Chain A
Amino acid sequence: MVKEIERYGLPIVHMATITTISQSVGANRIVPTVAIPHPVGNPSLPHEEEMDLRRKLVKKALDALQTEVSEPTQFE
């Protein structure tokens, strides 16, 4: 899906936990996430800290969309 959407010239960032799959399917902008059942959350954290974690992850994804890349790139 990532690749087909990008084919339209739309920058797309893939937020995924198993980044090796993300790479093998050909995503160009990748943000590694927390865990498979809750990629952008962490239920073991107190509410405020979890919100902060998600805020940062989404910011990272937005930053990735503003970054020129020439090959598959992981934004740590």
Chain B
Amino acid sequence: MAEKYKVLYYVNQFFGQIGGEDKAGIEPMYKEETVGPALGFNGLISEEGEVIGTIICGDNYFNENKEEAMKFILDIVKKTNPDIVVTGPAFNAGRYGMACGEIAKAIVEQLNIPAVTGMYVENPGVDVCKGQVIIASTSDSAAGMRKALPVMANIVKKIVKGEELGLPEEEGYIPQGKRLTVFSDKRGSQRAVEMLLARLNDEPFETELPMPVFDKVNPAEAIKDLSKATIALVTSGGIVPKGNPDRIQSASAQKWGKYDVSEKDALGADYCTIHGGYDPVYANELPDRVAPLDMLKQYEKDGVIGKVYEYFYTTTGTGTSVGNAMKFGKEIGKELKEAGVDGVILTST
């Protein structure tokens, strides 16, 4: 029997079975065993390959200490010399997605070893690495693990064997924005006319060249005189009045809330966090660590800014769909504009 190909696996503290948000600050470690999804993945490739070990790192540690974390991880990759590296899947977890994406990309670019990951298409980690790394397209939550792993395993098998990957929709990965030459039995003019006819007849058709979507917003003009300006405070850190009166979701938010802070000097003891995506200890001690109303009020008192807008706006940013985030932004922005607010500070965790 031929020698089995070697897969090195990367997971975060949660999938690495170390713990939840309270362990998100944990330094990277290497275990010569299959932990979490690595175990399931190993089962899928066991005929021809094996997972030789699992690197585990806390999501906060990775994102806050990127250089140190990356050095540790790349050293392990060099030492173990795998045929391919698998990170995630990260589903719609933003910090985990950034880690999976950046690690996979660094391994491909710096060590010339292929890497595969898996993410939900809206994960910010997709843009980090989609040009260099094959990203299996997964659902937005870990409930999709059983579907994600076989897709990733299949892609891994093809890559290590040097087989050509099919088109993104056939293999289940996120399009890399690459163009591929294919032979067609019809010439271009004929295909174009057929598409045009389909369009005119309201029939479905598929473009051969999807246009990239660039959605940039031009920077708004700066505030001229801060001492006369009204500044609004917004957060995606899930800071709410204790008791969470509007029942804002702790993840995948469906709504936002606004609270009158005109009589307050700080958020202080009346507020807490309901955000499910970070360790709440520090924010619950002092919510102004996430939404700094205390300092804005101080600057208002000192005359540095004209006024702090009377309402504070809040929602939860974790797992929230891009569609909802856009909706919240539109609704909140409209209110602020109509209220004559001059500038906004938005904090994120």
Interfacial residues, chain A to chain B (CB-CB below 8 A): 1-18, 20-22, 24-26, 28-29, 33, 35-41, 43, 51, 54-55, 57-59, 61-62, 65-71, 73
Q: Is the CB of B292 within 8 A of A54?
A: yes
| Interface contact tally, CB-CB below 8 A | 195
Q: What are 25 A-B contacts with C-beta separation under 8 Å?
A: A1-B325, A4-B330, A4-B333, A5-B332, A5-B333, A5-B346, A7-B217, A7-B329, A8-B334, A11-B222, A20-B124, A25-B124, A35-B64, A36-B95, A37-B60, A40-B288, A40-B289, A40-B347, A51-B294, A54-B294, A57-B295, A58-B299, A62-B345, A66-B222, A68-B221
Q: Is the CB of B226 within 8 A of A55?
A: no
B104 on interface, CB distance cutoff 8 Å = no
Question: For window 268-310 of chain B, which residues contact chain A by CB distance below 8 Å?
Answer: 278-283, 285-286, 288-292, 294-296, 298-299, 304-305
Closest Cβ of chain B: how far from A18's Cβ, in Å?
5
Query: Measured between alpha carbons, how far is A55 from B234 in the docked complex, in Å?
Result: 17
The residues of A that contact B279 with a CB separation of less than 8 Å are 37
Residue of A17, A40, A67 contacting most chain B CB atoms (<10 Å): A40
Interfacial residues, chain B to chain A (CB-CB below 8 A): 21, 24, 60, 63-64, 94-95, 98, 124, 127-128, 215-224, 226, 229, 231, 234, 236-237, 278-283, 285-286, 288-292, 294-296, 298-299, 304-305, 315, 325-326, 328-330, 332-334, 336-337, 341-349
The residues of A that contact B298 with a CB separation of less than 8 Å are 55
Closest Cβ of chain B: how far from A68's Cβ, in Å?
5
The residues of A that contact B95 with a CB separation of less than 8 Å are 18, 36
Query: Measured between alpha carbons, how far is A6 from B349 in the docked complex, in Å?
Result: 20
Query: Measured between alpha carbons, how far is A5 from B233 in the docked complex, in Å?
Result: 12
The residues of B that contact A51 with a CB separation of less than 8 Å are 294-295
6 smallest CB-CB distances across A and B, nearest first, come from A4-B329, A41-B289, A1-B329, A5-B333, A28-B219, A58-B295
Excluding A29-B219, A62-B345, 19 further A-B contacts by CB distance (< 8 Å) are: A1-B234, A4-B330, A4-B332, A6-B220, A7-B330, A10-B336, A10-B344, A17-B348, A24-B127, A33-B347, A39-B290, A40-B289, A43-B289, A58-B292, A62-B304, A65-B345, A70-B219, A71-B219, A73-B219
Query: Measured between alpha carbons, how far is A10 from B230 in the docked complex, in Å?
Result: 11
The residues of B that contact A71 with a CB separation of less than 8 Å are 219
Closest Cβ of chain A: how far from B341's Cβ, in Å?
6
Query: Measured between alpha carbons, how far is A25 from B123 in the docked complex, in Å?
Result: 11
The residues of A that contact B94 with a CB separation of less than 8 Å are 18, 21
Q: Is the CB of B219 within 8 A of A11?
A: yes
Query: Measured between alpha carbons, how far is A1 from B283 in the docked complex, in Å?
Result: 21
Query: Measured between alpha carbons, how far is A25 from B220 in the docked complex, in Å?
Result: 16
